[in-house]
């Protein structure tokens, strides 16, 4: 059992729990026989589609702070059926 001190913020506790859950999910998918693509999406904002964003396969992007919902969805649809995206982690951001 993990004991948190009163000095820890709820955000820190939530963030640690969330990241542990993400790591377990990724480990589960990597060990499966499924064809999968994981997208790592930073803070999502309500902005129109630009079609201009950075992507990285298998690694994080430096300074990946935000992406619009429209651009994240644009990349998701673009990755469907692309063999190079199968069993890959893709990070997207401006």
Residue ranges per structural domain of the chain = 33-93
Q: Is the dihedral of CA 32, 69, 22, 93 positive or negative?
A: positive
pLDDT at 3: 47
pLDDT in tens, 3-55: 445 555 555 555 677 778 888 988 999 999 999 999 999 999 999 999 999 99
Instruction: Please give the DSSP secondary-structure letter assigned to residue 91.
Output: E
Identify which has the larger pLDDT, 18 or 62: 62
Q: Is the dihedral of CA 9, 11, 13, 16 positive or negative?
A: negative
pLDDT at 68: 98
Give the H/E segment covering residue 5: none
CA distance 24 to 22: 5
Assign 26 to helix, strand or coil: helix
pLDDT grade for 92, boundaries at 50, 70 and 90: very high
pLDDT at 7: 52
């Amino acid at each position: 059992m993990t004991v948190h001190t009163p000095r820890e913020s709820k955000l820190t506790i939530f963030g640690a729990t969330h990241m542990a859950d993400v790591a377990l999910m990724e480990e589960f998918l990597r060990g499966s026989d499924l064809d999968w693509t994981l997208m790592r999406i930073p803070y999502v904002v309500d902005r129109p589609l630009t079609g201009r964003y950075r992507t990285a396969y298998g690694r994080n992007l430096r300074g990946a702070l935000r992406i619009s919902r429209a651009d994240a969805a644009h990349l998701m649809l673009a990755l469907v059926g692309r063999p190079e995206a199968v069993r890959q982690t893709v990070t997207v951001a401006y």
